[in-house]
Structure 1
Amino acid sequence: MDPVLSLRALNRAAMERQLLLRRTDLSVVEVVEHLFGLQAQTPHTWYAGLWNRIEGFDPLAASALLDKRELVRIALQRSTIHLVSARDCLALRPLLDPVTERGTRSTFVRKLSGVDLDELAVAGRALVEERALTFAELGKELAERWPGNDAHALSQVVRWLVPLVQVPPRGLWGRSGPIAHTSAESWLGNSEPPMAAEEMVRRYLRAFGPASVKDVQTWSGLTRLAEVFKGMDLVRYRAEDDRVLYDLPDMTLPSAEISVPVRFMYDFDNAFIGYADRTRFITPQALEVGGAFVKANVQWRLILVDGFTAGDWTVSTEKGTSTLTIHQWKPFAPADLREAEEEGARLLEFLAPGDRHEIAAVLGASRS
């Protein structure tokens, strides 16, 4: 019989592997590689994800790693923008190519007429390696060569055919810039052997496990990974709902009774997005309030209390005062609220160091 893991045990394991039980002394690159990338759809909110995990985190030092090309932002898992190390960018992109291909063929390739994809790849690569281009600029250039075709579709097909990184100043701390792209190969100037699917699964489990095949498929966007799991030396568990979960033989599990700190999570944290079954963090109450965020097209920023979603947080700024508001979906216990207020004050100091600061606590989600 496979050992059964309670929901609380899964939560504690995920908190530990996501470096949320306690902040780490690992370097920024080491943390990014351990987490197997951070979703970075927005240019800056991922900095809060690293602040959550690294003791004494310096956003300017992390920003410099983008300039030094040790970190990059590129479409990878689920064909969404992720912050990854240079090594993982070059190794993981070929493995995840089918994810981007699947969406690109169904949405954009069918809009093209008389376009040879090999020729498009060569032309697109030459253009972005001559100078970094936005998709609008790239599409305009390509449409001159293939008149009558949709310029946006042409640029998006190149996004699949050529690994494209977003170049600074986009993504730098305290700065902004156009969403301009060049090829990963020209930007990084070296190569890495493609990552095998087995190595990807091992890396995922080290950062997210124990987890199911479906969890890894949801995180990566790949399909048909069951055969990969069958060929690996893994230990098995069962969730309380009888789902089969896998883990690495050398990984231990923390006590389900260990206390965990209040955490303010950033909007696209993979701790939530990286699972098919998100109940190890997401409560039924979160599902109830989540509809209002979806309706408003707002990505929530969640507060974890005792490891589980208990509220969300917002920041507003007016006349030099930044206010972080703790939105309690139900009243926090007094000790939890004090801890949330203290952690919120530290987060606000990180996000708005030059402002006056206020912490507010209210009942109800920020969207309803």
Structure 2
Amino acid sequence: MLTLRDLNRATLSRQHLLDRYEGDVTDVVHRLAGLQAQEPRPPYLGVWSRLANFERTGLHDALHAGTVLRATMWRATLHLVTAADFAAFRPLLAPVLAAAARRFDGYDAAAVVAAAGRMLAERPHTFNELRPKLLEEFPGANDRALGYAVRMLTPLAVVPTDDRWSFPRDPAFAPPGIGLDPEPRPQALVERYLAAYGPATPADVQAWSGLVPAPVRFLPDFDTLVLGHADRTRLLADAYKGLVTTKNLRVRAVVLVDGFAAGTWQIKRSGKKAKLLISPFEAKFPRDAVAEEGLRMLAFAEPDAAAHDLEVTA
């Protein structure tokens, strides 16, 4: 059984924070599976704390050589990663980044990505340059949403400069010019995380990477998953049992959010109109994600309805 101190020291050792790593900057970035890089200077300090005899030019040169990239990766934020890790892991992140892009609507995502691709093929662009150009092609859209969609849906790297920390305040982005792994392996990602941050749990991997969230799912009345365990807390919190199982032993339909029952649902039909009514268990409820899946389910359940609608009740 690991004590808290044992766990602390094991993690510090994997992070090269007990003894600085003897090697080059690309190797240590690889060993850490990337460093947070929302701002230019922090990753330099992160490497300095972990790499023996580190000098600023080491990371600066690696960025200009393209062996290390600054790109949108874990949790849809900018990280420094090796080019090899970008190629291996960026495809695994594609579904999560696409889900993040869906927080906005009002545009054709494929068309926006294609338009941005044409512009970025001409030369690198800052997003302050790219957004107005996209708005010309997609008038009426939210320019921030257009830019966000490009960042989430297009594999891009920030272009390094000769600034002190290798990037200006308003950096340009461009395709990194490397191929992505056509057969990415989730197991490799988990192994790399454990090597850098372990010992750890699946929840730790999810918190770090933003991967492995359970998708929104709609279970019907009396679904066998709800009924299939004596202890249902793996799916349904005790506090909500009374909201799912009625006094006459009816088991209501439930919506799963991140794998757990987060509310009940029912379909109301009035003539040619079908409405999905969702009753969340808590005020904090991801309405947009639930609505997207819910409307797909409603269209499947009521294919002959002329209109499909959704209402989230208080």
TM range (shorter): 0.5 to 0.7
The one-letter code of the counterpart of 2:38 is Q
The one-letter code of the counterpart of 1:149 is A
The 5-angstrom pairing of residues 1-368 of structure 1 reads 4-106=1-103, 108=104, 110=105, 112=106, 115-169=107-161, 173=165, 176=168, 178-183=170-175, 187-224=176-213
The one-letter code of the counterpart of 1:54 is L
The separation in 1 between residues aligned to 2:167 and 2:99, in whole angstroms, is 34
Please tell me the root mean square deviation across aligned C-alpha atoms, in Å: 1.8
Compared CA separation, residues 170 and 147, structure 1 to 2 (3 A): farther
Q: Specify the SS of the correspondent of 1:82.
A: strand
Q: Compute the displacement of 1:192 (Å).
A: 3.4
Q: Compute the displacement of 1:194 (Å).
A: 4.5
Q: Compute the displacement of 1:41 (Å).
A: 0.9
Q: Compute the displacement of 1:177 (Å).
A: 5.2
Q: Which has the larger radius of gyration?
A: 2
The separation in 1 between residues aligned to 2:141 and 2:52, in whole angstroms, is 51
The separation in 2 between residues aligned to 1:40 and 1:62, in whole angstroms, is 13
The one-character-per-residue Cα deviations of 1:170-192 (angstroms, maximum 9, x if unpaired) are 87537635321112xxx334443
Q: Compute the displacement of 1:159 (Å).
A: 1.1
The one-letter code of the counterpart of 2:207 is T
The separation in 1 between residues aligned to 2:3 and 2:85, in whole angstroms, is 33
The one-character-per-residue Cα deviations of 1:274-322 (angstroms, maximum 9, x if unpaired) are xxxxxxxxxxxxxxxxxxxxxxxxxxxxxxxxxxxxxxxxxxxxxxxxx
The separation in 2 between residues aligned to 1:76 and 1:194, in whole angstroms, is 18
Q: Under a length normalisation based on structure 2, what TM-score does the superposition of the two structures give?
A: 0.64
The separation in 2 between residues aligned to 1:197 and 1:171, in whole angstroms, is 36
Structure 2 alignment gaps of length 5 or more: 215-314
CA contact (8 A) 1:170 1:177 kept: no
Compared CA separation, residues 217 and 175, structure 1 to 2 (3 A): closer
The separation in 1 between residues aligned to 2:162 and 2:130, in whole angstroms, is 17
The separation in 2 between residues aligned to 1:200 and 1:60, in whole angstroms, is 29
Q: Specify the SS of the correspondent of 1:45.
A: helix
Structure 1 alignment gaps of length 5 or more: 226-368
Compared CA separation, residues 100 and 175, structure 1 to 2 (3 A): closer
The one-character-per-residue Cα deviations of 1:243-284 (angstroms, maximum 9, x if unpaired) are xxxxxxxxxxxxxxxxxxxxxxxxxxxxxxxxxxxxxxxxxx
The one-letter code of the counterpart of 1:101 is A
The separation in 2 between residues aligned to 1:122 and 1:201, in whole angstroms, is 32
- RCO comparison, higher one (Cα < 8 Å, 6+): 1
Q: Under a length normalisation based on structure 1, what TM-score does the superposition of the two structures give?
A: 0.55
CA contact (8 A) 2:60 2:166 kept: no
Residue-pair matches, total: 214
The runs of at least 4 aligned residues of structure 1 exceeding 2 Å deviation read 170-178, 187-195
The one-character-per-residue Cα deviations of 1:207-237 (angstroms, maximum 9, x if unpaired) are 1111011000000011248xxxxxxxxxxxx
